[in-house]
């Protein structure tokens, strides 16, 4: 035993290799393997008459995804929702994270962290169905708005084409609210982590050099929070792109990418189309990361 | 000459702790003023009260005769060199230096030129496009200095700016800072826990302890006439004699201090000079420091005296454990204020 320890201690590379083999095997087969299987499936197409998969490499399925108006609609709808949810999460999370890190007392900070994470410990389905009830036509939210005399304002908002609908629970606005609620912790936590790394003395130096609070925020806090904002937005963006439960429980009847994947690989039995649709979020996130990188979001890392 | 900084009965309390306790002081314009003290003595809080990062609980702070007690930092005509330099990591060295003029809305060609000039002043002209992370500690220190001085403040605050530098660089920067201050004629307020630094650079030194100023004097005054036992020990570590021993040596119980370098070592049988105090002890330890050596001598009553001797041979070659006679002239016994603050 001791001889083996000494042998490995003198050969750190071999030691590290031995440690890494199990996770590498797992990662390689289960993770990358299934990803490549998925990519391979998307390169096939289904025979229109027999509904059987034809195992010959073709780009026909991709062509179907990006040219058929119904499919393009689904992509645009999902992408718009993901962008809107990401922006809203960023705008809401920034002041909360900044308050948590910078101003809250240690007790209040602990309370905030628990408050942010508590919803993540509850069942996802329970939360979605709870929101459906909250947003329903006779739900507590519309009742509350009626009580404070804003019922007419809600009706006016719901009449806006595109985001409105018969009730909040059957509109894109309602779906948007649920998405923002669901993914907000994933934005707040990385943002708080990034802000926590900014030393107090930098903010003092900024004020000392003559910057008003707004200038300090724009020139020091925000640029240094950008890596956290980027990390958080990757979560909110990709989680929205891939989700299929929220769009099927809350919101207007239009399809989202995740629902399409679920339906095509299940009831419709069109595995190639499901696979091709699965590739869409991957591509979109890669494009998003490239844009974020170019914008300098990772420079301060 | 107007006062650059005035503290009128300023206190800052954190919970139960009086970080700064009813401090009043005046710093003259153009002065190199040092705040000296151990950590937690209130010197840094005083600096932060001048900069505006802290607001006093009682009392007021005046800058150039104007009450700025409630002014935020960005409205005060002072700039700070931070202990950790506080350089903005996402900006180049040039942008860091130009930060002040930029937030004040100066035009790009103006702030670029001025920042470049400031970098030349601190001999970092070639480093303008680097990131702070690519600089050494000494270079960051200079960038931080240039960034503070570009605003042409009337008062420059320095919070232990040399603490993170190695000894040689620290000595170079001490000379450089002193020259810079002389050349620019700006008031420097320098916080340090290093008494050597305070003595060698400052025109006047305030010695802090427990949130109060124990003594405010010139370096020479502090060294030769320490007012309290704390100052005597903290500045140049003098031997402080109190109580029974003081009674036996001087005939009175009032405490007094004797500098280590004013003590001579004799063989016990040597004849006593007139007008001296003396006592017997055993050599406990000797440390050789090149130009001089430091001796620890344990008296019969248990106290340990430190003696610094320039020339060992003239004092006899004593071994550890040898019995010696400590001797100093009465004029070198500096009386101390008996009352030590609680």
Taking an 8 Å cut-off on Cβ atoms, the answer to whether B74 and A299 are in contact is no
Kindly report the three-state secondary structure assignment for every residue of chain B.
CCEEEEEEEEEEEECCEEEEEEEEEEEECCCEEEEECCCCCCHHHHHHHHHCCCCCCEEEEEECCEECCCCCHHHCCEEEECCCCCCCCCCCHHHHHCHHHHHCCCCHHHHHHHHHHHHHHCCCHHHCCCCHHHCCHHHHHHHHHHHHHCCCCCEEEEECCCCCCCHHHHHHHHHHHHHHHHHHCCEEEEEECCHHHHHHHCCEEEEEECCEEEEEECHHHHHHCCCCHHHHHHCCCCEEECHHHHHHHHCCCCCEEECHHHCEEECCCCCCCCCEEEEEEEEEEEEECCCCEEEEEEECCCCEEEEEECCCHHHCCCCCCCEEEEEEEHHHCEECCCCCCC
Determine the residue among A102, A194, A208, A217 to mutate to test chain B binding: the one whose Cβ has the most chain B Cβ atoms within 10 Å: A208
| d(C-alpha A229, C-alpha A190), whole Å | 7
- Nearest by CB to B151, which of A202, A209, A215? A209
- Mutual orientation of helices A60-67 and A69-98 as an angle, nearest 10°? 70
pLDDT at A300: 56
pLDDT at B91: 93
Q: What is the DSSP letter of A139?
A: S
Taking an 8 Å cut-off on Cβ atoms, the answer to whether B89 and A224 are in contact is yes
- Asked whether residue B342 is domain-assigned, the answer is no
The residue in chain A having the minimum alpha-carbon distance to the alpha carbon of residue B50 is A208
Enclosing domain of residue B83: 3-234
Shared domain check, B34 and B183? yes
Under 8 Å CB-to-CB from B64, ≥6 apart: which residues? B2, B3, B4, B29, B77, B154
Kindly report the three-state secondary structure assignment for every residue of B109-174.
HHHHHHHHHHHHHCCCHHHCCCCHHHCCHHHHHHHHHHHHHCCCCCEEEEECCCCCCCHHHHHHHH
Residues 222-261 of A with CB under 8 A from B: 223-224
Shared domain check, B80 and B16? yes
Taking an 8 Å cut-off on Cβ atoms, the answer to whether A201 and B90 are in contact is no
**A102/B contact by beta carbon, under 8 A:** no
Ranges of each domain in chain A? 1-31, 65-294
Alpha helices (H) along A27-171:
34-42, 60-67, 69-98, 106-117, 124-135, 140-147, 151-158
List, as one string, the DSSP characters of A246-257.
HHHHSS-S---H
Q: What is the DSSP letter of A52?
A: -
pLDDT at B311: 63
Extract the tokens encoding B51: 């900069």
Shared domain check, B7 and B116? yes
Shared domain check, B310 and B204? no
Shared domain check, B7 and B156? yes
How many angstroms away from the CA of A168 is the closest CA of chain B? 43
- Nearest by CB to A220, which of B72, B82, B88? B88
Distance of CA A126 to the CA centre of its chain: 19
pLDDT at A178: 95
Shared domain check, B179 and B90? yes
Extract the tokens encoding B291: 């130009």
Taking an 8 Å cut-off on Cβ atoms, the answer to whether A206 and B104 are in contact is no
The residue in chain A having the minimum alpha-carbon distance to the alpha carbon of residue B51 is A208
How many angstroms away from the CA of B93 is the closest CA of chain A? 15
**A204/B contact by beta carbon, under 8 A:** yes
- Asked whether residue B341 is domain-assigned, the answer is no
Taking an 8 Å cut-off on Cβ atoms, the answer to whether A204 and B73 are in contact is yes
Residues 18-57 of B with CB under 8 A from A: 51-53
| d(C-alpha B268, C-alpha B281), whole Å | 9
CB B220 within 8 A of CB B235: no
The residue in chain B having the minimum alpha-carbon distance to the alpha carbon of residue A215 is B103
| ipTM surpassing 0.95 | no
Under 8 Å CB-to-CB from B81, ≥6 apart: which residues? B141, B144, B145, B148, B156, B157, B158, B159, B161
- Asked whether residue B340 is domain-assigned, the answer is no
- Asked whether residue B141 is domain-assigned, the answer is yes
H-helix or E-strand containing A262? Answer: helix A257-265
Taking an 8 Å cut-off on Cβ atoms, the answer to whether B53 and A204 are in contact is yes
Q: Looking at B183, B202, B234, which one is the last position of a domain?
A: B234
pLDDT at B1: 56
**B151/A contact by beta carbon, under 8 A:** yes
Determine the residue among A200, A203, A209 to mutate to test chain B binding: the one whose Cβ has the most chain B Cβ atoms within 10 Å: A209
Q: What is the DSSP letter of A295?
A: T
Shared domain check, B143 and B9? yes
User: Which of chain A's residues have a Cβ under 8 Å away from the Cβ of B148?
Assistant: 208-209
Shared domain check, B200 and B86? yes
| β-bridge mates for residue B79, sequence order | B156
**B78/A contact by beta carbon, under 8 A:** yes
**B210/A contact by beta carbon, under 8 A:** no
Taking an 8 Å cut-off on Cβ atoms, the answer to whether B74 and A210 are in contact is yes
| β-bridge mates for residue B187, sequence order | B155
Q: Residue B88 maps to which CATH number?
A: 3.40.50.300
Q: Looking at B201, B234, B267, which one is the last position of a domain?
A: B234
- Asked whether residue B13 is domain-assigned, the answer is yes
pTM of the model: 0.81
CATH 1.20.1370.20 fits A65-294, yes or no: no
Handedness of CA B97, B100, B103, B109 (dihedral sign): negative
pLDDT at A150: 87
User: Which of chain B's residues have a Cβ under 8 Å away from the Cβ of A218?
Assistant: none
pLDDT in tens, B220-238: 999 999 999 899 989 887 8
- Nearest by CB to B80, which of A208, A224, A300? A208
Shared domain check, B168 and B266? no
pLDDT at A185: 95
Shared domain check, B243 and B193? no
**A105/B contact by beta carbon, under 8 A:** no
- Asked whether residue B71 is domain-assigned, the answer is yes
**B100/A contact by beta carbon, under 8 A:** yes
Nearest-10 Cα torsion for B17, B22, B26, B32: -20
Q: Looking at B234, B264, B293, which one is the last position of a domain?
A: B234
Shared domain check, B311 and B180? no
Taking an 8 Å cut-off on Cβ atoms, the answer to whether B80 and A219 are in contact is no
Give the count of domains, chain B: 2
Q: What are phi and psi of A133, to 5 degrees?
A: -70, -40
| d(C-alpha A223, C-alpha A296), whole Å | 9
Shared domain check, B165 and B64? yes
Q: What is the DSSP letter of A46?
A: E
pLDDT below 70 — which residues of chain B?
Answer: 1, 311-316, 338-342
pLDDT, tens digit only, all 301 positions of chain A = 788 888 888 888 888 888 999 999 998 888 899 888 888 888 888 877 777 787 888 888 888 888 889 899 999 999 999 999 999 999 999 999 999 999 999 999 999 999 999 888 889 899 999 999 999 988 899 899 989 988 888 888 888 888 888 888 889 999 999 999 999 999 999 999 999 999 999 999 999 999 999 999 999 999 999 889 999 999 999 999 989 999 999 988 888 998 888 888 887 778 888 899 989 999 999 998 898 888 777 765 5
pLDDT in tens, B49-64: 999 999 999 999 999 9
Taking an 8 Å cut-off on Cβ atoms, the answer to whether A207 and B104 are in contact is no
Taking an 8 Å cut-off on Cβ atoms, the answer to whether A209 and B79 are in contact is yes
- Asked whether residue B132 is domain-assigned, the answer is yes
The residue in chain A having the minimum alpha-carbon distance to the alpha carbon of residue B157 is A208
């Amino acid at each position: 035993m001791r001889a083996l320890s000494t042998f490995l201690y003198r050969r750190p590379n071999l030691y590290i290799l031995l440690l890494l083999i199990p996770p590498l095997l797992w990662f390689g087969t289960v993770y990358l393997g299934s990803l490549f299987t998925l990519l391979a499936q998307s390169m096939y197409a289904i025979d229109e008459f027999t509904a059987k998969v034809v195992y010959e490499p073709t780009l026909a399925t991709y062509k179907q995804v990006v040219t058929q108006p119904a499919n393009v609609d689904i992509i645009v709808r999902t992408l718009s929702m993901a962008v809107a949810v990401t922006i809203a999460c960023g705008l809401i999370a920034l002041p909360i994270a900044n308050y948590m890190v910078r101003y809250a007392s240690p007790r209040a900070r602990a309370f905030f962290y628990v408050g942010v994470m508590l919803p993540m410990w509850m069942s996802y389905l329970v939360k979605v169905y709870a929101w459906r009830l909250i947003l329903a036509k006779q739900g507590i939210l519309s009742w509350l708005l009626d009580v404070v005399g804003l019922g007419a304002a809600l009706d006016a908002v719901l009449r806006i084409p595109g985001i409105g609908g018969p009730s909040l629970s059957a509109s894109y606005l309602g779906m948007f609210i649920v998405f923002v609620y669901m993914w907000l912790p994933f934005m707040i936590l990385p943002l708080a982590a990034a802000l926590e790394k900014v030393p107090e003395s930098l903010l003092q130096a900024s004020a000392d050099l003559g910057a008003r609070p707004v200038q300090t925020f724009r020139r020091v806090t925000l640029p240094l929070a950008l890596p956290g904002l980027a990390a958080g937005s990757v979560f909110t963006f990709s989680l929205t792109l891939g989700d299929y439960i929220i769009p099927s429980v809350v919101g207007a009847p239009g399809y989202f990418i995740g629902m399409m994947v679920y339906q095509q690989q299940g009831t419709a039995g069109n595995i190639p189309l499901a696979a091709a649709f699965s590739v869409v979020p991957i591509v979109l996130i890669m494009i998003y990361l490239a844009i974020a990188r170019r914008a300098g979001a990772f420079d301060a890392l | 000459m107007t006062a650059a900084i005035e503290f009128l009965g300023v206190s800052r309390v954190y919970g139960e702790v009086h970080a700064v306790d009813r401090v009043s002081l005046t710093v003259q314009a153009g002065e190199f003023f040092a705040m000296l003290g151990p950590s937690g003595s209130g010197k840094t809080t005083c600096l932060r009260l001048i900069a505006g990062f802290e607001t006093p609980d009682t009392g007021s702070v005046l800058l150039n005769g104007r009450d700025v007690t409630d002014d935020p930092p960005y409205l005060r005509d002072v700039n700070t060199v931070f202990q950790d330099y506080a350089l903005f990591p996402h900006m180049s060295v040039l942008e860091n230096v130009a930060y002040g003029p930029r937030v004040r809305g100066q035009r790009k060609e103006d702030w670029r030129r001025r920042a470049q000039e400031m970098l030349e002043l601190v001999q970092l002209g070639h480093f303008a496009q680097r990131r702070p992370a690519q600089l050494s500690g000494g270079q960051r220190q200079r960038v931080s200095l240039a960034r503070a001085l570009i605003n042409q403040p009337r008062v420059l605050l320095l919070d232990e700016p040399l603490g993170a530098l190695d000894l040689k660089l620290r000595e170079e920067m001490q000379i450089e800072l002193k020259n810079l201050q002389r050349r620019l004629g700006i008031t420097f307020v320098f916080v340090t826990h290093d008494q050597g630094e305070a003595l060698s650079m400052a025109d006047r030194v305030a010695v802090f302890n427990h949130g109060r100023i124990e003594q405010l004097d010139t370096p020479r005054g502090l060294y030769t006439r320490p007012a309290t036992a704390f100052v005597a020990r903290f500045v140049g570590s003098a031997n402080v004699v109190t109580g029974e021993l003081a009674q036996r040596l001087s005939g009175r119980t009032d405490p007094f201090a004797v500098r280590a370098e004013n003590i001579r070592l004799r063989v016990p049988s040597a004849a006593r000079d007139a007008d001296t105090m003396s006592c017997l002890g055993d050599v406990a330890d000797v440390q050789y420091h090149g130009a001089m050596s430091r001796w620890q001598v344990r008296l019969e009553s248990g106290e340990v005296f430190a003696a610094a001797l320039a020339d060992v041979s003239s004092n006899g070659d004593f071994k550890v454990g040898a019995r010696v006679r400590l001797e100093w002239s009465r004029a070198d016994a500096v009386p101390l204020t008996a009352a030590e603050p609680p």
